[in-house]
Amino acid sequence: MANSGMMLASVTYTCCFSSQTGIPQVVAREVERARRNIGTFDSVTPATPAASSSSPDEAAAAATKAAQANYKIVQDISNFSQTEASRAPFDHTPTPIAVTQSPYPSWTYGQGVPDHGASARKLHREIDPYAASRPAIHNYRLLVSGIAPRPVGFLSTVSGDGATKNLAPFSYFQVVDHDPPLFIVGFSSRPGRAKDTYRNLQATGECVINTVSEGMIEAVNATAIDAPYGVSEWEVSGLTEAPSSTVTPSRVRESVFSVEGRVLEIKEFAAHSPEMSVSAVVLIKATRFWVEEGAVDAEGSHIDFEKLRPVAQLGGVAYGRITSTFERPRTRWEVEVEKSEVLRELERKTEGGGN
C-alpha cells in the first residue's frame, strides 16, 4: 500500500505529568548569556551565493529562499487523501484500554532479554550525525522515528504586544521534574525567522501547555501550518479558549490537562548558517494545573487514562493511540536481595572488594 510507512500505529504508552515574577528580564539575561556562549553545528546544504551586485537584504532573502528549498522537515505527501481513504476507519468505539501482563512476567535478575539470545546477536550500523555528506534532515527523520513514542507539546502563547494569540504543537517536548514542576521545549533551527511560539516566549515569558487527546488530533495538526506571523491558530483550528489564572495565554478547553507556566531559562545555540534561525531549548516552570472534572482522583494526583486518551508522536507523520498497557512496579534492593542469588552474589563481590 502506498505510503504504508505513515500508517497510524497502535502503541502501548504511559503518559504522566507528574510564581515567579520578573520573567522577561530573566529571559533577556539568559538569552544574552547564551549568545555569548553558543555552540556550533555542521552546516546544511549551502545556499546559492547572491550576485555581487545584490544588496545585503536581497542577498539575505536569496539565501533564505535557498535554505527553504533544502528544508524538508515538512513532507510533501500529495496523495495522502487517497492513501488514507484506502485504510480502515478510525474506531471511535469507547473500548476500555486493556491491561495485560508484561512481556516476561517471570523475568529474573541477570536474565537480560529472554529471547534465547536473539537480541544480543543483532548487528548495528554506525552513523556519524555530522558526516559532511549527511543532510541534517536525515538526523531529524532518524531521531523522530527512533525516539518514540513522544508526547505532543501543545503550547498556547501571546505576542509581546498582546495583539496575536498563537497555538502550536511541538515534537521536542517533555516534563523533566515535579518539584518544582518543570517542562522543556526544543526549537529547531529553520530558514528565516524563528517560530512564533519562541518569539512569544522570549517577549512575554508565559505559556500554557495542553495535552492532546485522540479526538483533537486533526485540529491540533492544523495549528502546525506555516501561517504568517499575526494569524491566530485558534481560528485556524476552531479550538476553544478558556481563561487562565496566572498567565495571559488561554488554555485549550478541549484538553483534559493544561499547565500554565512561565519561562525559567532559555538556552540558544548558533544557527547552522546565516540564513537559518537559532535553535534553542526553553525551560518552563508550572504555575497552575487545570484538569477536566471527572478525569482526576479526589487528591488531584492521578488522571484517568480512559479520559485522557493521549496521542503519541511516532516517526514521519504517524501518530499512535493507546490500546493496551501493562505495569511493572519498581523494586528495592533490600527486599529483592533476599530473593535473588544473583543479587546476593553481586553484594558479596562488592563487600569483598571484587569486580
pLDDT in tens, 102-149: 999 999 999 999 999 999 999 999 999 999 999 888 999 999 999 999
Residue type, 87: R
Residue 193 confidence (pLDDT): 72
Burial environment of residue 344 by CB neighbours within 10 A (0 to 12, 13 to 18, 19 or more): middle
Residue 8 confidence (pLDDT): 38
Residue 198 confidence (pLDDT): 93
Residue 155 confidence (pLDDT): 98
pLDDT in tens, 319-341: 999 999 999 999 999 999 999 99
Q: Which residues contact 120 (CB under 8 A, 6 or more apart)?
A: 112, 113
Q: 188 falls in which pLDDT band (50, 70, 90)?
A: confident
Residue 56 confidence (pLDDT): 64
Residue 352 confidence (pLDDT): 76
Q: With a cut of 80, say whether residue 5 has pLDDT above it.
A: no
Q: 152 falls in which pLDDT band (50, 70, 90)?
A: very high
Residue 39 confidence (pLDDT): 38
Listed in order, strand segments (DSSP E) in the chain are 9-11, 98-100, 150-151, 153-158, 165-170, 173-178, 181-187, 206-210, 241-242, 251-252, 257-269, 279-291, 312-313, 319-322, 324-326
Cis before 180? omega within 30: yes
Which of the two residues, 2 and 299, has the higher pLDDT score? 299
Contact 311, 152 (CB under 8 A): yes
Q: With a cut of 80, say whether residue 355 has pLDDT above it.
A: no
Residue 230 confidence (pLDDT): 76
Least confident of 4-13, 189-198, 336-345: 4-13
pLDDT in tens, 226-237: 888 778 899 999
C-alpha closest to that of 202 among 19, 64, 32, 20: 32
Domains defined along the chain, listed by start? 9-50+57-100+126-351 (2.30.110.10)
Average pLDDT of the segment spanning 169-174: 95
Least confident of 30-34, 104-108, 133-137, 179-183: 30-34
Average pLDDT of the segment spanning 264-286: 87
Q: 18 falls in which pLDDT band (50, 70, 90)?
A: very low
Sign of CA dihedral 28, 159, 259, 145: negative
Q: CA triplet 130, 42, 68: central angle to 5 degrees?
A: 115
Contact 204, 26 (CB under 8 A): no
Task: Supply φ then ψ for residue 29, to 5 degrees.
Answer: -65, -40
Residue 71 confidence (pLDDT): 59
Q: With a cut of 60, say whether residue 317 has pLDDT above it.
A: yes
pLDDT in tens, 43-94: 333 344 444 456 766 665 665 565 555 656 666 777 888 999 999 999 999 8
Q: With a cut of 80, say whether residue 1 has pLDDT above it.
A: no
Q: With a cut of 50, say whether residue 26 has pLDDT above it.
A: no
pLDDT, the chain, mean: 83
